[in-house]
Each structure stands twice: as C-alpha cells, then as structure tokens.
C-alpha cells in the first residue's frame, strides 16, 4: 500500500498593522506544568465562508476544534475552561482584540474567568481548499503569542489541526509536541484469524492496513525518517508446506515491499540504524537466537552477539545517536535487560529483579529506557535511566474480574514525554499512553480488536 503526504501551507500572520504585534518567549516552564495546569479558553471556530454551505462545512470546523482540544489536553499542560463559563457575547466573531479592531474582543472577559491563554480561530472552505486563521493569546498580559494561517486540501483537515496544536505547544513551551506522529502496530483488526500490520495516527484515528499476507505479521518497526517499516511475517514459500518467520521491508512512499531476511528459523525484532543503511534483528538459523546486523538488501553485515553458552539475545533497539543498543537476554538465567555498543562490545546488565524482562525501548534523547517486566503472572511497564538507575513503574491495572492486567511492549513518543504500550485490562489488547512519570494515563484505541507491539514514529513532515 502506498501512503502519500499532502501539501500544507503555513503562513505567519503579521498583525502589527492593527497595533498588536506577535510576541515570542517561553510561557510554560515544563517543571511547573507538572503541578499546575494552565487554564485555556478555546471558543468554537468561527465559519467565514458562504452562508449557504455553513451547515455542511461546520462539521469540518468541529473536527479541527476537537482534534486541537484533544491534542492539548493530552499534552498534560492545559485544562480547558467550559464554554458555559465564557463571558464573551456569542455573536462576537472577531479574532482580534478591541485594541486593534473596533468590534474586537476584550481581554477583560477572559481574565475574569481565570484564563491564562486564549485561542481564537476561524476558517473558510472554497472548493476543496480550507483556510484556517488562528491567534493564540497570553490573556493576563494581553499578548499575541502565535498568529498563523494554514491552507491545504480539506481532506487533510486532521493534519492541519495537528500542525496547529504542535505550533501552539512549541510557542508556549519551546518544545514541539508529538501530534504529527504515527504508530505502526500488528493487529487482528477485521480478521477472523491471523494478524496484519496497520498504520494509524498517534490518537488512534486514520488507520490503514499496510500488509495483506493472510497470515501472522508482527513486530513492526519504523525507520528513523518514517518512510520505511520492517516487520516479521510468517510467509509460505513456493514449494514448501511450512511458513517461516521472515523479515520484510516496506517503503511507504512507493508501496514497494521486499523480503530482506528469510534465513531458515527466526527472523524477527527489527530495529533500524539512524544512518538509514542497516537493520539490526534477531536471527536463529536453527540455533539459539542472536542479534545480527544486515544491509537493506538482506546481506549480512555482522553478527553482534554470540551467546554466551547458548543464551538467547533478542529484541534489539538502537539509540537515536546510533551508538548504543538495548536488548533482552537470558544469559544470566532469566531474561533481563542489557545495553551494549552497536558493535557488541561494552555489555552491561541493567535489570536484576523480576521473572521476565522484555521489549526494551530507548527514549529519543537516550537518557531513559522503558521495558515490560513480569512479576507473578502479569507484565507492567517500567521506565529507568539508561544506566538502570531511578526505575519507576508506569502501569498497574486490573481486569473486571479482579485479576491483574498485563501491560507490554513500550515505545516512546518522539518528544520523549509519553510511553505507548498495550494492555489487556478491558479483555482486549488495546493501546494506551502514559506520561513518562506515570502521572497521567489514557487509552488510544477503544474497540473490540487486539493490538500488539506498537511503535511510535517521529513527527511526519
């Protein structure tokens, strides 16, 4: 399947002509945001198009409003003020303040209800093109923080909304959000048996199936540029009655798919190098699984691990600088989490407790590692510093029958503030995210399917 991006034009608005200039600076200190959320006022988007098409196009405005609200709520920095508390007259369609426009809004109406920030936005749709004009204000100081106009095809309204939310977050905190990122995951969605690979937006929307092997496809991974996906599929070869666990490489812009590791036995757990030249994965070749480095054409570049003493070395995950690998190994008896240089040297054991520790994942800055740890009969998600210190438990949930739920397969968001994982607490394996400190958790999928081994991409250009 081919996935093609669509063009979105972003224009910074100059409003100095009305006596009101855009300001820049850091308005939310990230440490303080953990203890006190900023109050955000966001009136419904104004529609500035033809009245005859208002009823049809208002649904697009509502979609943009809901996406931006959800993005900023999930960021954990904001609490939205209920519209019932707004003092501004419902008929006030102005996006600019009274200081710059006679019919403009008054900041006093927003300071009176305690708003720290105010988003004013309006849109129009002409043909198949949407224009969104936006202003984000710091209320108590009466400052414009961000003024931008977004233009694009109406079909990419979701992307437009996510882009706007990212811009707001960066303007207020100095850090870009993860709202333009995607997730690749294995799922039984829409199938009576088997699993295929799917791509979806980080918030669970816009899902598309990208494999169709009518078999079991699992363990997907993103390339660092977000243009390729490697995954394992049990492929039936010509002339054989059996299916083998082979690794395939899918190029998303072209839809081209190639078989890159099909050695007899296990070929699984791919992780791309950031230089875009090689892939690390687990290969068994009829013996105990070890970690190998291969080129995109499937040729072997190096064997990274070799036991010891028949140990299994699996689930490699490469750091963003390309220098370190985290992996799981039972070389000490039980599966534990280890790090090493990508050439296999300087091996260090990080976890010392638990029954079974697996599926480790680096944070984007390389400072933290998330993994799934088993205690008794279930798994939970843990996060620790990259040297194994300061470990915290992110998850602890029970099923409706009172038994502990399993939470597995963590992956960091591109901004490093969230961890995504699966949990069977509802009876189905659903996708969840948690802030990296475990303070807030929420579901991403809410359906009757099962999802496995989600991987979070970087933001899509």
pLDDT digit string, tens, across residues 210-262 = 999 999 999 999 999 999 999 999 988 777 778 899 999 999 999 999 999 99
What is the model's pTM?
Answer: 0.93
**398 lies in the same domain as 344:** yes
Q: Which residue has the tokens 């419902």?
A: 90
Check whether residue 209 and residue 295 sit in a common domain. Answer: yes
153 within a domain of the structure (yes/no) = yes
313: in domain:
yes
Domain with 44 in it: what CATH number?
Answer: 3.40.50.10070
Average of per-residue pLDDT across 383-405: 97
Same domain for 136 and 190: no
Joined together, the tokens standing for residue 218 give 């699992």
Contact 77, 37 (CB under 8 A): yes
Residues 192 and 105 in one domain: no
Q: Are residues 360 and 382 in the same domain?
A: yes
Tally of domains within the chain: 2
Residue 404 lies in a domain: yes
Distance (Å, whole) CA 282 – CA 264: 12
Separation CA 380–CA 421 (nearest Å): 10
What CATH number corresponds to the domain at position 379? 2.120.10.30
Domain boundary residue, one of 173, 206, 227: 173
* Pair (15, 49) in one structural domain: yes
Residues 122 and 13 in one domain: yes
Collapsing DSSP to helix, strand or coil, 366 comes out as coil
Same-domain status, 446 and 301? yes
pLDDT tens, 97-151? 987 667 889 999 999 999 999 999 999 999 899 999 999 999 999 999 999 999 9
* Calpha distance 71→181 (Å, rounded): 12
Residues 162 and 208 in one domain: no
Does the pLDDT value for residue 1 go beyond 80? no
In the 3-class helix/strand/coil scheme, how is 315-360 assigned residue by residue? EEEECCCCCEEEEEECCCCCCEEEEEECCCCCCEECCCCCCEEEEE
d(CA 52, CA 46): 15
Residue 321 within any structural domain of the chain: yes
240 and 142 within one domain: no
Same domain, 247 and 110: no
143 and 236, same domain (yes or no): no
Q: Does an H or E element contain 112, and which? A: none
- Which residue range is the domain that position 120 belongs to? 8-173
Encode pLDDT of 305-363 as tens digits: 999 988 999 999 999 999 999 999 999 999 999 999 999 999 999 999 999 999 999 99
């Amino acid at each position: 399947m081919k996935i093609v991006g669509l063009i979105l034009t972003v224009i910074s608005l100059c409003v100095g002509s009305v006596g009101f200039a855009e300001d820049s600076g850091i308005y939310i200190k990230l440490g303080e945001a953990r203890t006190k959320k900023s109050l955000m006022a966001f009136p419904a988007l104004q529609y500035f198009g033809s009245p005859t098409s208002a009823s049809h196009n208002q649904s697009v405005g509502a979609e943009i409003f809901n996406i931006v609200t959800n993005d900023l709520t999930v960021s954990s920095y904001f609490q939205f003020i209920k519209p019932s508390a707004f003092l501004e007259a419902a008929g006030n369609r102005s996006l600019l303040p009274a200081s710059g426009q006679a019919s403009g809004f008054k900041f006093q109406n927003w300071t009176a209800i305690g708003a720290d920030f105010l988003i004013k936005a309006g849109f129009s749709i002409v043909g198949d093109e949407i224009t969104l004009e936006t202003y984000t204000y710091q209320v108590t100081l009466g400052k414009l923080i961000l003024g931008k106009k977004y233009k694009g095809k109406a079909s990419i309204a979701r992307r437009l909304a996510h882009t706007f939310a990212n811009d707001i977050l960066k303007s207020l905190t100095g850090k870009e959000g993860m709202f333009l990122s995607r997730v690749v995951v294995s799922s039984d969605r829409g199938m009576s048996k088997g699993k295929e690979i799917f791509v979806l937006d980080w918030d669970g929307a816009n899902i598309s199936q990208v494999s169709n092997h009518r078999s079991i496809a699992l363990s997907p991974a993103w390339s660092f540029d977000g243009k390729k996906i490697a995954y394992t599929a049990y492929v039936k070869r010509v002339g054989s009655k059996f299916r083998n666990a082979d690794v395939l490489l899918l190029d998303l812009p072209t839809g081209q798919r190639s078989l890159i590791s099909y050695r007899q036995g296990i070929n699984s757990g791919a992780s791309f190098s950031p230089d875009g030249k090689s892939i690390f994965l687990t290969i068994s070749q009829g013996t105990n699984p070890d970690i190998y480095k291969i080129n995109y054409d499937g040729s072997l570049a190096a064997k990274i691990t070799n036991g010891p003493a028949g140990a299994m070395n699996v689930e490699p995950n490469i750091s963003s600088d390309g220098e370190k690998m985290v992996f799981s190994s039972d070389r000490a008896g039980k599966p534990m989490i280890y790090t090493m240089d990508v050439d296999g040297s300087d091996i260090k054991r990080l976890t010392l407790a638990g029954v079974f520790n697996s599926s480790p994942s680096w944070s984007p800055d390389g400072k933290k590692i998330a993994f799934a740890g088993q205690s008794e009969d279930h798994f939970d998600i843990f996060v620790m510093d990259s040297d194994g210190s300061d470990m915290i438990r992110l998850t602890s949930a029970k099923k409706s029958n009172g038994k502990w739920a399993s939470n597995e397969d963590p992956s960091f968001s591109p901004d490093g503030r969230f961890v995504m994982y699966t949990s069977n607490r509802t009876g189905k394996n659903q996708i969840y995210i948690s802030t990296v400190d475990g303070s807030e958790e929420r579901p991403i999928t809410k359906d009757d399917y099962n999802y496995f081994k989600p991987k979070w991409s970087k933001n899509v250009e």
